[in-house]
Amino acid sequence: MKHLVAPSILAADFANLQRDIELVNDSMADWFHVDIMDGVFVPNISFGFPVMAAVNQYATKPLDVHLMIVDPDRYLTAFKEAGAANITVHYEACTHLHRTVQQIKELGCRAGVAINPHTPIAHLSDIVEYIDLVCVMSVNPGFGGQKFIESTYRRIQELHLLAQKSNSNLLIEIDGGVNHENALPLLQAGAHVLVAGNTVFAAKDQRASIQLLKEISPATQIV
């Protein structure tokens, strides 16, 4: 499959949010990545339902919503109503992960599970067959602009092998420190979705930056 690119609006210019949304609409990007932070699960606060609903009002591409919050079950319906197409919860934040995944699917959303850099990939073995997406954090969650963690390549390979056994349709998404230099090796390791924040929105030519990420030759990827 051709990989997907999901610009993270956490890195957008919030004084010109509609402009940046329309820029992504007109680009080769596939999804909008929307990071929701509560200041409890991660040491930062991003935005909530009103901002997300405003993004959804102008976005013409699916909203890929990443919940970095405690007790996400309380808010799943609200995020769906605010426009989420994908809802990803953190393995580390869910006491009853299977139930949470089931609730996401019942809402008609693609169900994802995110995993922090210190959490072993093997911990996903009992849930991987039930989900649509795994978001592999390649930085410690909570802030944009962090340095990419090199062990991510090995973790992607581990997850790719796990998915081959029980869920060949699983999407492997990489979030944190993705740039034009590491995008190709990430895809070669087995990634399918690249989340890019500063690489897109801090670029002089944002559409061109997205295009560079999107046009990496699929012939060089593993299948």
Write out the catalytic residue numbers: 35, 175
From 175, 201, 193, select the one nearest 17 (Cα to Cα).
Answer: 201
Residue 195 in 3-state DSSP? strand
Instruction: Give the angle 4-147-113 at the CA atoms, nearest 5°.
Output: 45
From the CB of residue 34, how many other CB atoms can be counted at a distance below 10 Å? 27
CA distance 21 to 23: 5
Angle between helices 17-25 and 206-214 (to 10 degrees): 40
Using alpha carbons only, what angle is made at residue 156 by residues 160 and 210, rounded to the nearest 5 degrees?
110
Angstrom distance (rounded) from CA 90 to CA 113? 6
Name which of 7, 4, 18, 142 is nearest 68 in CA terms.
Answer: 142
Given a contact cutoff of 8 angstroms between Cβ atoms, the answer to whether 77 and 105 are in contact is: no
